[in-house]
Amino acid sequence: MSLNDGNWFTEVCDEAGTAFSLRVTRQLHTERSRYQTIEVYETSHFGNLLVLDGFVMLTARDNFIYHEMMSHPALYTHPQPKRVLVIGGGDCGCLAEVLRHGDVIAAELVELDERVTRVSEQFFPELCASNNDPRASLHFTDGVAWVAQADAGTYDIIIVDSTDPIGQAARLFQEPFYASCRRALGDAGVLVVQSESPLIHCALIHSMRAEMGKAGFQRVSTLHFPQCTYPSGWWSATLAGGERPHAEFRAADAQAKIFTTRYYNADMHRAALAQPTFMQER
């Protein structure tokens, strides 16, 4: 990461040989929490920018794509989702999308670093507007331990809105964690995990899918969507569940939803399930 003399914030992706830049007008916040460096910048065209340890987490302009695709496909895949767990996601964007569903009776967010949430409440209030919803509860602790200690069948949906598989977050991409999720989910339960860029991280996605299979998930599908502020501009989320094919989502309910989304709809859901040739099972 660098902020050069031309006021461009640049995130370098060495493994892809690429870099992405946003023009910055000023720095709004910087701190070192117990776990990471948290920065917020004002940009010229993408609104506020949240950065953790030098990596772009979200911008005000395009985060809706990621948060909608991390949330609604899973919720419309489950036949009747009522209890949802979000692991990570301290900016609360996924939590807000989950709470748009009237049938959800409880949504828990488990985020390791409370400071991410408090900074988001200050600089991204639109993402945190549902934090005081009576159905919501926020817990600032280790998500891996939380799921391992959960009673069997506690949740209908588990959303893993994690950072890249580096450091503490690496545990969220491995079979022991997926096995804990499988146990904590009901029979029709659905797990969704952010799974990086198909163009750059194809091997990681195949590894995740294999680890999910080892953990007892019978159906695994990867969703594709654009995300221009992440490396390559092409991102994914991987769904895991039981015997029911993910293509059999509640399309009629998705099409008739009474809340507004900016990217997600039933057609985009179907399209996201299509797999490019190089991503098909090997």
Closest to 22 in 3D by CA, of 66, 52, 56: 56
Do you know the residue count of the chain?
282
Our answer to whether residue 62 is catalytic in this structure is no
Among candidate residues 151, 156, 161, 253, the one labeled active-site is 161
Cα-based distances in Å from 248 to 33, 98, 161, 195, 280: 43, 20, 24, 22, 19
If you search the block for the tokens 């370098």, which residue do you land on?
A: 12
Contact in structure between 224 and 233 (CB atoms under 8 Å)? no
Contact in structure between 127 and 92 (CB atoms under 8 Å)? yes
Backbone angles phi, psi at 69, to 5 degrees: -75, -20
Determine the Cα–Cα distance for residues 20 and 229; give it in Å rounded to an integer.
7
Looking only at the bridges linking them, the beta strands covering 55-59 and 136-139 are unpaired
Cα-based distances in Å from 63 to 17, 18, 94, 218, 267: 24, 21, 10, 30, 20
How far from each other are the two terminal CA atoms of the chain, in whole angstroms?
A: 35
Cα-based distances in Å from 193 to 15, 48, 71, 222: 21, 25, 10, 9
Closest to 63 in 3D by CA, of 46, 80, 79, 78: 46
Residues designated catalytic = 161
